[in-house]
Amino acid sequence: MTRTLTVCDLSDWRAGGERRERFINHVGDALQDIGFFALTGHGISADAISKSYEVAEDFFNLPQGIKSKYEQSKISRQRGYTPYGVEHAKDNPAPDLKEFWQTGRTIDDPDFPKNIWPAESNEFEESIDGLYNAMESMSLELLSAASIYLGKEEDWLPSMTTNGNTILRVIHYPALGENSPEGAVRSAQHEDINLITLLVGATADGLQVMDHDGTWIEVEGHHEHIIVDSGDMLQNLTNGLFKSTTHRVINPPDNNSDRYSMPMFVHPRNEIDLTPLPEFIEKTGGEALYDPITAGEYLHQRLVEIGLAS
């Protein structure tokens, strides 16, 4: 029997009572088991998601010279445009076959990355920023549920993300053509860096999640579900109780189809300590599996490893 991801209904959380308890248990059990689940009942309309993909496609169809005006290598490309072939998975020198745009929250801090928007599109900011705000709000609900499951206060994880550098990444995987670099795939197998990731349903299949036995779970690309996974930072905090699971985006069977996806990477503030907590060390065998490190130190280390920073 083909394994599929657990489906959790966010309307259960919002209903309260026994339904909320059920949601908390479903989310926590899934993150402890495979580190992934599919979210329904989230309230973001398929039309809003489709509109975001439309404006994204319009931008990525612009000439390369125009897109490249928005590359910001001085801030490790944490905002604006990243060209095709720049990023690669950790320990894999072959470039990922994608280009992308990144945006985040706006706060009054001169040292915090500032959003930029393409002047060529009147609708890009409204659509993408609107999706960012809806997903960022949803992420707080999911982190609240995870906190309760872990026996902590409801605001334990959400409070870590206040003014954190949570990023929405709008990704374009171009048609491969005939000259792709040897060994390169759309997104080589990797684990996410952050606390949790929310992935809006992609425009095509290709996402695969590694199961416990090393086989791959196929994740369908559609707009009904938002795919959620726990990242390395949450794995660190919980000493591996919540899993940061390997996943990838494989190449399509033909060379002529594009793919778009939009993951939100939910990050804590840089000063947050990710050292595994004693109660989670006790639950996972009594030995700390991860070294003490702050979120800012960890993020920079990983950005260097994947080619976005130096």
Q: What integer pLDDT is reported at residue 125 of this predicted model? A: 95
Q: What integer pLDDT is reported at residue 185 of this predicted model? A: 65
pLDDT digits (tens, 9 = 90+) for 153-196: 999 999 999 999 999 999 998 877 665 655 556 677 889 999 99
Q: What integer pLDDT is reported at residue 66 of this predicted model? A: 96
Q: What integer pLDDT is reported at residue 14 of this predicted model? A: 97
Domain ranges of the chain: 7-305
- SS3 assignment for the chain: CCCCCCEEEHHHHHHCHHHHHHHHHHHHHHHHHCCEEEEECCCCCHHHHHHHHHHHHHHHCCCHHHHHHHECHHHCCCCEEECCCCCCCCCCCCCCCCEEEEEECCCCCCCCCCCCCCCCCCCHHHHHHHHHHHHHHHHHHHHHHHHHHCCCCCCHHHHHCCCCCCEEEEEEECCCCCCCCCCCCCEEEECCCCCEEEEECCCCCCEEEECCCCCEEECCCCCCCEEEEECHHHHHHCCCCCCCCCEEECCCCCCCCCEEEEEEEECCCCCCECCCCHHHHHHCCCCCCCCCCEHHHHHHHHHHHCCCCC
Spelled out in words, what is the top-level CATH class assigned to the domain 7-305?
Answer: mainly beta
Could you list the pLDDT tens digit for every one of the 310 residues in the chain?
567 899 999 999 999 999 999 999 999 999 999 999 999 999 999 899 999 999 999 999 999 999 999 999 888 888 999 998 776 656 666 667 789 999 999 888 888 999 999 999 889 999 999 999 999 999 999 999 999 999 999 999 999 999 999 999 999 988 776 656 555 566 778 899 999 999 987 676 778 899 999 999 988 766 688 999 999 999 999 999 999 999 888 767 676 678 888 999 999 999 999 999 999 999 999 999 999 999 999 988 888 877 776 6
- pTM beyond 0.75: yes
